[in-house]
Structure 1
Amino acid sequence: MSLAQFSTPSSSFTFLPPPPVTAPPPSLRCYNSRPSISTTSRSSTTLTNILNSGVIACLRAQSADVALEAARAAISGGISVLEIVVSTPGVFEVLHQLAQDFPNTTLGVGTVLNTKDAENAKNAGAKFIMSPAIVKGIMDQDTDDLLYIPGVMTPTEILSSYSDGAKIVKVYPISAIGGVQYIATLKKPFPHIPMVASQGITTDSVGAYIDKGAAAVILSDAIFDKKAISQRNFNAIYQLAQLAAFQGNEAVKRKRSTPANFMETCVF
């Protein structure tokens, strides 16, 4: 998608409200059957929101004001799950403001590497945090109110994280270790473990990842295009977010319409 399509200045553009999220019909709803996890906990609700979305928008910016406006554009474009990378200046203040402005959006912090940042994220209103690896100090904490998504790469790391209490894992860096086919291979022994595919994913491959078993994908530059960010072209970000949200929603609906695949999107 060319940014030449998005020449309308953001000052003259009115964001439209995001489309409503449609719940699956009663006959296709899935419920948490893992005894140790409460279906009413905040973290379980967050996980359900991620599974329903199919797309997690990942934002990193060079300033707090750009981060805030870019996030608003993406959410207005239909993004319902968004993470802000912890290296973004003023990340916790930005998160706190977004949590007030968009209370129904599932907001989180990415690249969290220590318990201090995890606690700050929680206090700022984050509903989930994400790491590029397994941070034991965070894994050991009570995460009933805050969903922790550790980064994994190998089958051993996936099973270890899940056994230690992770409800969902992030397979990273996916494009360097096999892409769609790697996810498909991992789901064979671990159909019960929700996996987020992360790194180098484009909007046009969202459907392929979810079709092959990913619970959701993380989109970074595919939504927060570097040129658009540098030019403060928030209209472009809105349009890219709209396309990404559509692709995610369509892929999730398609997967749930197939009985053989539906249980892969459930929480266990």
Structure 2
Amino acid sequence: MALASLSLFSPPPPPPPPKTLTAIQNSGVIACLRAHDGKTAMDAASAALRGGISVLEIVMSTPGVLEVIKDLRKDHPSLTFGVGTILNVEDARKAVKAGAQFLMSPCSVTEILLELEGSEILYIPGVMTPTEVLLAYNAGAKIVKVYPVSLLGGEKYISALKKPFPHVPMVASQGVTTESIGRYIEAGASAVVLSDAIFDKGAMQQRSFDEIERLASCAVLQANQAIK
């Protein structure tokens, strides 16, 4: 009888994580793309996807970013696409309307968290300090971006942050190299953001998309090994 009564008051199981969060954790890499025009953005994104990238972020300042997101979602419905450097609700709404599955900011914008509350769209706010991690998580963030991670101490800083916040998924962003992916994931990061490590400035300028595909393939290989 006591056991039966206890079961009646057992808390319900936690809800499953958002599909986009699961996709990011399974990938280990978010490829971050910025380009001078929409055509280059589309070509570079396609090269990265050929290299095995499954989660791609395009920064809001890229001309034609919303059209690129629409086209990518149409051509690759099983992959995950987001828009980065979202700093206000208006841009967040535009990105969501275009089909973005996640939004990312260099800082935490409470208005965007409130705007997306109860939505399937994943918002990844930027944080630096333990206090900012706590505030973002308590405000409803399912995952946070530690930025600029290399200036804060790199993988050692991720390891230090995870000690008080083991339940908070974290993305390491800024200055991460392909060679350091494994160290960040071992330190507790759910994923890393790679920008120049995939979208090399020289390759972008020369439109060397084969090189971008190669760099993407190397990053995916390192991430897969680290996750396993």
TM-score by length of structure 1 reads 0.79
Aligned runs of 1:82-231 on 2, under 5 Å? 82-141=56-115, 142-231=117-206
2:224 to 249, 253, 259: 249
Tell whether the 8 Å contact from 2:84 to 2:103 is kept in structure 1 after alignment.
yes
Pair 1:68 & 2:42 matched: yes
Counterpart position of 1:58: 32
CA distance in 1, matches of 2:118, 2:34: 25
Letter in 2 for 1:73: A
CA distance in 2, matches of 1:197, 1:239: 22
CA distance in 2, matches of 1:179, 1:200: 9
Residue by residue over 1:197-252, the C-alpha shift from the partner in whole angstroms, topping out at 9 and shown as x without a partner, is: 00011000000000010010000000000000000000000000000011111111
CA distance in 1, matches of 2:223, 2:32: 14
Runs (4+) of structure 1 exceeding 2 A deviation are none
Tell whether the 8 Å contact from 2:110 to 2:139 is kept in structure 1 after alignment.
no
Percent sequence identity over matched residues?
Answer: 60
SS in 1 for 2:72: helix
Tell whether the 8 Å contact from 2:172 to 2:184 is kept in structure 1 after alignment.
yes
Letter in 2 for 1:173: P
Letter in 1 for 2:162: K
Cα distance change of structure 1 residues 106 and 34 upon mapping to structure 2, 3 Å threshold = farther
CA distance in 2, matches of 1:67, 1:45: 25
Letter in 2 for 1:136: T
RMSD (Å) for aligned C-alpha atoms: 1.2
Q: Which runs of 5 or more structure 1 residues have no equivalent in the other structure?
A: 1-32, 254-268
1:81 to 55, 59, 74: 55
CA distance in 1, matches of 2:13, 2:29: 24
Aligned runs of 1:252-267 on 2, under 5 Å? 252-253=227-228
Query: How many angstroms does 1:139 deviate by?
Result: 1.1
SS in 1 for 2:192: strand
Residue by residue over 1:164-201, the C-alpha shift from the partner in whole angstroms, topping out at 9 and shown as x without a partner, is: 11000000000111111000100111111000000011
CA distance in 1, matches of 2:13, 2:140: 11
Query: How many angstroms does 1:34 deviate by?
Result: 7.1
Residue by residue over 1:101-131, the C-alpha shift from the partner in whole angstroms, topping out at 9 and shown as x without a partner, is: 1111100000000111111111111100000
Letter in 2 for 1:218: V
Letter in 2 for 1:86: M
Corresponding residue pairs, total: 216
SS in 2 for 1:107: strand
TM-score by length of structure 2 reads 0.92
CA distance in 2, matches of 1:72, 1:66: 10
Cα distance change of structure 1 residues 143 and 76 upon mapping to structure 2, 3 Å threshold = farther
SS in 1 for 2:18: helix
Aligned runs of 1:27-38 on 2, under 5 Å? 35=14, 38=15
CA distance in 2, matches of 1:136, 1:252: 31
Query: Highest CA radius of gyration, 1 or 2?
Result: 2
Query: How many angstroms does 1:144 deviate by?
Result: 2.1
Query: How many angstroms does 1:143 deviate by?
Result: 4.7
